[in-house]
Amino acid sequence: MRLVIMGPPGAGKGTQAVVVAQSLGVPHISTGDIFRANVSQGTPLGEEAQRYMDAGEYVPDSITNAMVRDRLSRDDCDPGFLLDGYPRTLEQVNELDAMLRSDGRAIDKVIELTVDTEAVVQRLLNRAQEQGRSDDTAEVIRRRLEVYFEQTAPLTSVYRERGLILEVDGMGDVPVVTERILSALSG
């Protein structure tokens, strides 16, 4: 199973991705988590990524694609993977296709979590208070949503044309949404 999970910031993507990946026995690959780990370790990649993240902007494709290429080449991805937060631009979609194609692989399904945008903003503001993420101020949250709707939401139509989209209602308690995702995947 080679999967992608998509949805606006605050849709609960990360939370669902962890549980779903575990239940399918594939690695959960979150580009946001990899960037954050690099920021906290003070690596050159982290230093480069941080200024984009703090502004709510996307890290440049060249940096992000190289990082994902490296991660997907590891042995633990042989049985599959769940990508969370990637691809986010058309160039990333194309690059992901190319990386997989070179090994005779392809994406099997794309889970699209749908949510009510107002509820999402509230969820992000709550998370900002609980976790103190530096990219979770009201202004940056608004910018992240804008960037998502401009650059990433349109990508679902690329995957829809390929017949890969599984649309899942992301509103509700975590276990309820997990169950919806797992049943969509097995259906």
Asked about 109 being catalytic, the answer comes back as: no
**52 near ligand AMP, judged by CB under 6 A:** yes
Q: Is 144 a catalytic residue?
A: yes
Q: How far apart are CA 18 and CA 166, in angstroms?
A: 18
Give catalytic status of residue 143 as yes or no: no
Beta bridge partners of 161: none
Tokens of 115: 């949510």
Which residues inside 87-116 make contact with ligand AMP, applying CB under 6 A? 88, 92
Binding span for ligand AMP by CB under 6 A among 37-45, 56-64, 120-128, 172-180: 56-64
Active-site pick, 13, 109, 142, 143 = 13
Q: Would you tell me which residues interact with ligand AMP (CB under 6 A)?
A: 9, 31-32, 35, 52-53, 56, 58-59, 64, 85-86, 88, 92, 135, 144
